[in-house]
Structure 1
Amino acid sequence: MFLFKQSPTDKDSNDNSTLLAVKFKTTERTLYARPLSDYIASSYAEPPEAYRDDLRVLDELREAATAALDVNASVLKRNIRYYGQLSFILSKFPADVNVKFTWYNAFDSESAATCQDLYFEKAAVLFNIGAIYSQLACRESRNDKDSLNRAFGYFQSAAGIFAHLQYKVVSESRTQLTTDLSAYMLTTLENLMLCQAQECVWHRSVLGHMKDANVARVAEQVAEFYDLAIESGSQGSLAETIPSGWLDHFKAKRLYFYAEAQYRKALDCLASTQYGEEVARLQMAQDYCNQLNELIAYDQRWSRNLRAAVLDMAKSQQELVSSNCTRSVRDNDVIYLDPVPAASSLASISPYKLAQSKAPDIIENPGKYLGEEELGPPLFKGLVPFVIHQAASLYEDKKDQLVNKDLITSLDELTADCESVLNSLNLPNAIDAIQKPVGLPPNILVGADEIRSEGGYLGIKRLLDNAAAANAKAVSLLDASENALNEEAREDQRVRQGANPESARARRPESSDLTNSLRGEIAKYRDIVRKARESDVTIKNQVDTWSKFFALLGSPREEIEHQVPSTTVNPLTDPHHSQIVERLQQYLNEVMLMKRERLKSVENLKRIANEDDITPALNEEMQRLAASSSTPILQFELHQFEDLFSQRLDKYASWRKYIEEEKEAQAELLDSIREANQAFLMARSSHPLLQQRQKALSNLETAIKRYRESSFNLHDGTRFYSSLEAELQKLKDNCLDFTMARHLDALDLIGASHGEIPDDISQTPGHPTRMHPNSQQQQQQTNLVWDPTMPLKYANPK
């Protein structure tokens, strides 16, 4: 990793300076040659070998700019040269070209960012140029005017660079940058450089023995600059990332220069014999000095973070202001007796601003210096800028939208509309049907094959028989269920007959109360079975109606064809009818010709679009713009080529006119076809043979539909009856189970009080016990004469 070597003035611990310098950003080694060669070959379709020297020089420029050397004018020149070349190649390559850059935070060596962004590289290099200017300024002496003038210029340049970096460079980056490149930090650095540039003016004013009133105004502006630095340096989380002690330094300097401004204004008042105001001004200066010294004495952090030179400066100012304040008060009390105004009534000191943010012209306009000694010849001068490739791609998109999605699509829609009209008129099939022998239509053949595969009329007859049998079985199951409930009801009546009202037999639940749900289900299913039967009858009637056609469609194809009238010769033998057909055929031929010509036009349009290469025109436009520009660094924007796009696309305007003409011609032709077709239909409708054939085919088509409907409904009925049978069987079982349970309950009651039961209860015909699984044995038992003195038995004795 290449690290900038930090000069002594770059360290915050430099006790010999009251000024702050900005540290360098450090980076890791990165080479352009391989990734840029690959990019040129893949994206620009140019031989990268042609730019071998440019790639080598670019790598050398980066290595020289990031080498660990002392801070001097040579290092500044190397960084500026690399920055200028970066500015130029950004007009040749996209910012996210395949080169990775890693830069560390200038104020936090553990924090770094890595990304593929030439603007990030440009921002980092420009940051270091600003840092170099700040360090060069800090290295100048504060004891002579020439050094102060140089420092003043360096600080102004640094401030201008940080401002340019924030508003013109960092704003172009689309990646996450380190915090030293944040807007707040760059604003703070700009304000700091302005503070220190204004301090240089103040030093020069003092050395040059400028009037105290003017020195006060210069000092007032220094304090206000530090106010701005404090404000920007305290924003958000910046206070935690700004170098340790900087905010304390800003606050101390602000108090110092507010005191200095009041002190110098007091000296001006003394010279003007304004003794009372002199006292007031010195007292204000004393207040600022006291605030600064109280903070230093109260907060150990201040004495630890502030440089010794700043502490000495504050101490000296305190002593000077204190002694002058004591003198002025004594003199005014003893000699002048001038009223001392309140501090709030004193006129404010108008600041005298001389420091400004001024980036060097070579930074703001590097293109003016390309080809000169400062920056050297521009690299990749012959490479077509990336924006030209973007513009060519954009033009291709616009052209594709116009040609394929507008023009060709419109022509295709015209053709589709024409075909839709012809299909709705059954053309040209209607003419083909009378001009050549025609057998059965495909839909009839497919339907007949389908009917034969399903067994024809006999097959659907079997389905009808199955449905009738299934319906009968459903009725039988319902009858069995209802009979079982009826038998149980009769037995219940016999059990109750003659029973004591207070006996268990009399209190036994009545059958009607217990069988409501079962009888409700029986009624529901009877209604379902009845409706199914009605549906079966409807289907049977339909099958009977169409049975003759079902039988025909189930026959071999030859038999069907024999039964359908055939147009083996043109039936329209009438000369008038022949003219109608010829005219309609002529119109259809014109349609075919129109379609062929339209296809040729579409192919021609595609050929023109494929040969339409805008790249040469874009290069000419780029050269024209370059010739009219004062700098070779041209930041082309796509909107600059909109006029050229419009001019190039105007050549396709004639195709829009062609489409409109095609619309009119097609509409006229289709109107003629509709008129001729109407006459053709009238001629056909009056011919007996065609009417017979049409009727026969119509009957067969309808028969196929009816067969499919009947087959579908009967197959669906088969599934329905299968499911219904299972449900009815379950219902029957539930009824039998209920009947058996009630019968056993009756027997229990009989056993409990058999003397009260009529003799014939166990001889009831159709007793439910005959439906028990052991029905044979139980039937034998129930046929015996019941003896009330014998216990009940449910099987033959062993």
Structure 2
Amino acid sequence: MFLFKQTPAAAATDGVANESSTLLAVKFKATEKITFAKPLAEYIASSYAEPPEAYRDDLRVLDELREAATAALDVNQTALKRNTRYYGQLSFILSKFPADVNISFTWYNAFVTESEASCADLYFERASVLFNIGAAYSQLGCREGHNDKDSLNRAFGHFQHAAGVFAHLRQKIVSECRTQLTTDLSAYMLTTLENLMLCQAQECVWHRSVLNHMKDANIARVAAYVAELYDLAIQSGSQGSLANTIPAGWLEHLKIKMLYFRAEAQSRKSMDCLANSHYGEEVARLQAANEYCNQINEIVAYDQRWSKHVRAAVLEMVKSQYELIASNRQRAEHDNDVIYLDPVPATPSLPEISPYKLAQPIIPEIVENPGMFLGGDELGPPLFKALVPFVIHQAASLYEDRKDQLVNKDLITALDELTADCESVLNSLNLPHALEAIQKPIGLPPNILVGSDEIRSEGGYLGIKRLIDSAIASNAKATDMIDTAEKALDEEAREDQRVRQGAIPNSPRAQRVESSELTNKFRADIAKYRSVVTRARESDATIKAQIDTWSKFFSLLGSPRDEIERQVPSTTANPITDPHHSQIVGRLQQYMSEITLMRRERLKSTENLKRIAAEDDVTPALNEEMQRLTQKQQQSSSSILQFELHQFEDVFAARLDKYMTWRKYIEEEREAQSELLDSIREANQAFIVARSSHPLLQQREKSLSNLEMAVKRYREASFNLHDGSRFYASLESELAKLRDGCLDFAMARHIDALELMGVRQGETPADLAQAPENSNASLAEQHLQRQQQQAPPPPQNLVWDPSMPLKYTTPK
């Protein structure tokens, strides 16, 4: 039916090249072999979390359906049913799997077999199969005879079904494909094929009208509509690039058929005029018909390409028509001139022949509504019926996204912002540190104690000092490596300039490649790394300044706890005894307790909201809604069950509505927090006034605040320096490669310069520009001489002395 590209007998099986037929059939699209079983099984296991073994039979049947369709090389009703069954099952499984499931389908252009399209798209597979169903209907129509009424009736139905399939493909199916399609699936081509099938269906009506000996006036009207449809096919077939894509000879065939049926309509109308004694109009009609015949003959005679591509049967049909019309015209003109003397009207003034429209596109019901035939003999039981439709997974994912947006991005974020606002206000009031100075006149707060333990474990101030010193040293080393690399390039550039001085034109010295052309990459890397090292140096300086600023606090925090406590002022020696002051402190403590309780309860509410959201499974509700939609579609005799995400909007709204109560809770929390913070501000103001009379309180409060900030600064510096240590280690490796590369390049160029200058072994001229250009000095000899000069002197005493201890050289 639709053929594998590699099938050698495919060209002989489509029945298109029937030279004895005056009708055109559509070729099949060819495809490559694929299997569904493995990719779909993997997808079921990974995406649906279901055992693919449960669908082993469905996978096997689906592969067999495609194999049966592609293996059916003969065009008959059985083959058509096989393809229709495969199409119906494809339509159904599209509600179960995503279109881009991991299977690549390859289909070739039906008319330009070198053109192909490949993609993982089930919609593309379905569109290609449907195209071949339309092609099968067209071929079945062409195979019917045109000499008996029953055959013509069957052909008429086949062509109308073909037109309906191509129309349905254009209007509904192709638009769902998600890939670049071949031109045989373009809107212009499908419109052309639809019009062509309607032309040939109406042509069957014309044949049947002639066989039934209908009135000539009615036959003329049938022929007029045939010509009109062929004209429409020509217009759509000439659009865009289709003129170069449409099969050779098709446009010629369509134009000849259009002219033929225009001539036929005028010829039949002339017979009606003769029967009604309209002799002048009869002559005019025959003259118009003869003009159409002449246009055909002129076109064929002008361009032999037409006669080459147009079938002989069509040309023979045209020839017979021309002879008949010419004979009738000669008779009619003679009789009118001699006997009737009826005025002959001009051709443009002849009344139009109203078309008799019978052919129309009819979509086979099994194509338009395959869901109605699932479970019956036509399509068989639906495959993967028990598999949850893919749209349910999409809907569940969409609901999760919306729920996450509502719960985490809106509700929880709003609660977190409330807590952050509360923290900001309390920090601006230096609470609870100011109260801790009153509540704990001696000792240290837990956060300072924990920070002190961390600082002490990392070596205290000396530990952080070693880290910054190491960073500064690493930066200096990196700078030195960059300078070494740049210096090597600069020295090589100066030597290259000296080599060129005084060189004979066109000599090797003069033609030597300049350094600047070879060192662009090196220079760019040096500039890049120098910028990186400079920025790192500036960052190290900032960290060092911070360490120097807080060095005394770092040293204190690295001390034992009792030492830190001795440095923090205590109020035990001068306790607060003012009753009014105690009352103010008590009220502020009460407010702080309330704010602590509020935040604790808010944290519990947040955790409860997260738990509710985590337990909120929308799948059962979606399944219930899907069953309701299924019943509704089945009651309306709908096609394959189509589920869209927007159909579940009511479910989404109902499920998300229960979270709206949390918005009210957030507003209540906002109002309660605002009132409580106002009370805290008022109480704190009174507390500040009362505390101003007790200097030790202020000193202790300031000390605790400084120590807490010092812990924070130490952690920041420690993190940055450890991160910088890893950075310098990586940078040093990269700079070593750059430095060695520059040194190797400079050495290679130096050796090349010596060879060009012809420097002899042991010679080092003061000015390279004055050295002779021709010399046979060996580079190897010079290299050996330098090694000998650098080697240590040989040992003088080569006799082993047992009294001397053994000495081992360090392996290199």
What is the TM-score of this pair, normalised by structure 2? Answer: 0.70
State the secondary structure of the residue aligned to 2:114: strand
For 2:251, the equivalent position in structure 1 comes to 247
C-alpha displacement at 1:633, in angstroms? 2.3
Distance in 1 of aligned mates of 2:316 and 2:62? 48
> Is the 8 Å Cα contact of residues 249 and 310 (structure 2) preserved in structure 1?
yes
Which amino acid in 1 is paired with 2:650? Answer: D
Superposition pairs of residues 280-299 of structure 1, within 5 angstroms = 280-299=284-303
For 2:38, the equivalent position in structure 1 comes to 34
State the secondary structure of the residue aligned to 2:418: helix
> Is the 8 Å Cα contact of residues 226 and 261 (structure 2) preserved in structure 1?
yes
1:354 aligns with 2:361: no
Q: Structure 1 residues 656, 362: closer, same or farther in 2, change over 3 A?
A: same
State the secondary structure of the residue aligned to 2:667: helix
State the secondary structure of the residue aligned to 1:628: helix
Over the matched positions of the two proteins, sequence identity in percent amounts to 75
Which amino acid in 2 is paired with 1:184? Answer: Y
C-alpha displacement at 1:568, in angstroms? 3.3
> Is the 8 Å Cα contact of residues 189 and 237 (structure 2) preserved in structure 1?
yes
Distance in 1 of aligned mates of 2:38 and 2:567? 84
Q: Structure 1 residues 402, 559: closer, same or farther in 2, change over 3 A?
A: closer
Distance in 2 of aligned mates of 1:295 and 1:584? 107
Q: Structure 1 residues 395, 252: closer, same or farther in 2, change over 3 A?
A: same
Superposition pairs of residues 653-732 of structure 1, within 5 angstroms = 653-687=660-694, 689-690=696-697
For 2:380, the equivalent position in structure 1 comes to 376
1:111 alignment partner, one of 99, 112, 115: 115
Q: Structure 1 residues 565, 621: closer, same or farther in 2, change over 3 A?
A: closer
> Is the 8 Å Cα contact of residues 437 and 701 (structure 2) preserved in structure 1?
no
Superposition pairs of residues 114-153 of structure 1, within 5 angstroms = 114-153=118-157
2:94 alignment partner, one of 67, 71, 90: 90
Distance in 1 of aligned mates of 2:28 and 2:256? 25
> Is the 8 Å Cα contact of residues 94 and 386 (structure 1) preserved in structure 2?
yes
For 1:634, the equivalent position in structure 2 comes to 641
Superposition pairs of residues 186-205 of structure 1, within 5 angstroms = 186-205=190-209
Q: Structure 1 residues 612, 346: closer, same or farther in 2, change over 3 A?
A: same
Superposition pairs of residues 260-279 of structure 1, within 5 angstroms = 260-279=264-283
Distance in 1 of aligned mates of 2:81 and 2:701? 98
Give per-residue Cα distances to partners, 1:566-622, cap 9 Å, x unaligned: 433564211111111111111111111111111111111111111100011111111
2:261 alignment partner, one of 248, 257, 262: 257
Distance in 1 of aligned mates of 2:10 and 2:211? 31
> Is the 8 Å Cα contact of residues 433 and 704 (structure 2) preserved in structure 1?
no
Superposition pairs of residues 473-552 of structure 1, within 5 angstroms = none
Structure 1 gap segments, 5+ residues each? 455-549, 701-798
> Is the 8 Å Cα contact of residues 433 and 701 (structure 2) preserved in structure 1?
no
C-alpha displacement at 1:14, in angstroms? 2.2
C-alpha displacement at 1:70, in angstroms? 1.1
> Is the 8 Å Cα contact of residues 368 and 639 (structure 2) preserved in structure 1?
no
C-alpha displacement at 1:687, in angstroms? 3.2
1:612 alignment partner, one of 613, 616, 631: 616
Which amino acid in 1 is paired with 2:645? Answer: L
Distance in 2 of aligned mates of 1:196 and 1:651? 62
C-alpha displacement at 1:179, in angstroms? 1.7
> Is the 8 Å Cα contact of residues 216 and 349 (structure 1) preserved in structure 2?
yes
State the secondary structure of the residue aligned to 2:659: helix
Larger Cα Rg: Structure 1 or Structure 2? 1
Distance in 1 of aligned mates of 2:552 and 2:76? 110
Distance in 2 of aligned mates of 1:167 and 1:119? 14
C-alpha displacement at 1:10, in angstroms? 4.2
1:568 aligns with 2:552: no
For 1:163, the equivalent position in structure 2 comes to 167
For 1:596, the equivalent position in structure 2 comes to 600
> Is the 8 Å Cα contact of residues 552 and 559 (structure 1) preserved in structure 2?
no
Instruction: Kindly tell me the number of residue pairs found equivalent between the two proteins.
Output: 602
1:325 alignment partner, one of 314, 324, 329: 329
Which amino acid in 2 is paired with 1:59? Answer: D
C-alpha displacement at 1:111, in angstroms? 2.1
C-alpha displacement at 1:6, in angstroms? 5.7
C-alpha displacement at 1:289, in angstroms? 0.3
Q: Structure 1 residues 565, 609: closer, same or farther in 2, change over 3 A?
A: closer
1:410 aligns with 2:407: no
For 1:393, the equivalent position in structure 2 comes to 397
1:50 aligns with 2:54: yes
State the secondary structure of the residue aligned to 2:581: helix
Structure 1's consecutive aligned runs of 4 or more residues displaced over 3 angstroms after TM superposition are 1-13, 437-442, 550-566, 568-571, 687-700
Give per-residue Cα distances to partners, 1:540-570, cap 9 Å, x unaligned: xxxxxxxxxx999999999999999643356
1:218 aligns with 2:225: no
For 2:468, the equivalent position in structure 1 comes to none
Distance in 1 of aligned mates of 2:46 and 2:397? 15
1:650 alignment partner, one of 634, 653, 657: 657
Q: Structure 1 residues 20, 613: closer, same or farther in 2, change over 3 A?
A: same
For 1:761, the equivalent position in structure 2 comes to none
> Is the 8 Å Cα contact of residues 552 and 560 (structure 1) preserved in structure 2?
no
Distance in 2 of aligned mates of 1:177 and 1:554? 75
2:66 alignment partner, one of 62, 66, 77: 62
Which amino acid in 2 is paired with 1:88? Answer: F
Which amino acid in 2 is paired with 1:158? Answer: A
Q: Structure 1 residues 560, 311: closer, same or farther in 2, change over 3 A?
A: closer
State the secondary structure of the residue aligned to 2:108: strand
> Is the 8 Å Cα contact of residues 14 and 73 (structure 2) preserved in structure 1?
no
The alignment's C-alpha RMSD in Å is 3.1
Q: Structure 1 residues 217, 680: closer, same or farther in 2, change over 3 A?
A: same
Distance in 1 of aligned mates of 2:192 and 2:48? 42
Q: Structure 1 residues 93, 563: closer, same or farther in 2, change over 3 A?
A: closer
Which amino acid in 2 is paired with 1:203? Answer: H
> Is the 8 Å Cα contact of residues 216 and 260 (structure 1) preserved in structure 2?
yes
State the secondary structure of the residue aligned to 1:114: strand
Distance in 2 of aligned mates of 1:162 and 1:554? 87
Distance in 2 of aligned mates of 1:263 and 1:7? 40
Which amino acid in 1 is paired with 2:659? Answer: Y
For 1:762, the equivalent position in structure 2 comes to none
Which amino acid in 2 is paired with 1:435? Answer: Q
For 1:585, the equivalent position in structure 2 comes to 589
C-alpha displacement at 1:436, in angstroms? 2.4
Q: Structure 1 residues 263, 678: closer, same or farther in 2, change over 3 A?
A: same
> Is the 8 Å Cα contact of residues 16 and 139 (structure 2) preserved in structure 1?
no
> Is the 8 Å Cα contact of residues 436 and 570 (structure 1) preserved in structure 2?
no
State the secondary structure of the residue aligned to 1:109: coil
For 1:470, the equivalent position in structure 2 comes to none
Distance in 1 of aligned mates of 2:54 and 2:700? 81
Structure 2 gap segments, 5+ residues each? 466-550, 708-812
Give per-residue Cα distances to partners, 1:402-456, cap 9 Å, x unaligned: 11111111111111111111111111101111232369999xx99xx999x99xx
Distance in 1 of aligned mates of 2:373 and 2:704? 91
For 1:752, the equivalent position in structure 2 comes to none
State the secondary structure of the residue aligned to 2:624: helix
For 1:748, the equivalent position in structure 2 comes to none
Q: Structure 1 residues 32, 694: closer, same or farther in 2, change over 3 A?
A: closer
Distance in 2 of aligned mates of 1:653 and 1:419? 26
Which amino acid in 2 is paired with 1:414? Answer: L
Distance in 2 of aligned mates of 1:257 and 1:60? 46
Q: Structure 1 residues 354, 678: closer, same or farther in 2, change over 3 A?
A: same
Superposition pairs of residues 421-432 of structure 1, within 5 angstroms = 421-432=425-436
C-alpha displacement at 1:691, in angstroms? 6.6
Which amino acid in 2 is paired with 1:643? Answer: D
> Is the 8 Å Cα contact of residues 6 and 70 (structure 1) preserved in structure 2?
no
Distance in 2 of aligned mates of 1:440 and 1:267? 121
For 1:533, the equivalent position in structure 2 comes to none
C-alpha displacement at 1:7, in angstroms? 8.5
Give per-residue Cα distances to partners, 1:68-109, cap 9 Å, x unaligned: 431111001111111111110011111111112122221122
Q: Structure 1 residues 150, 577: closer, same or farther in 2, change over 3 A?
A: same
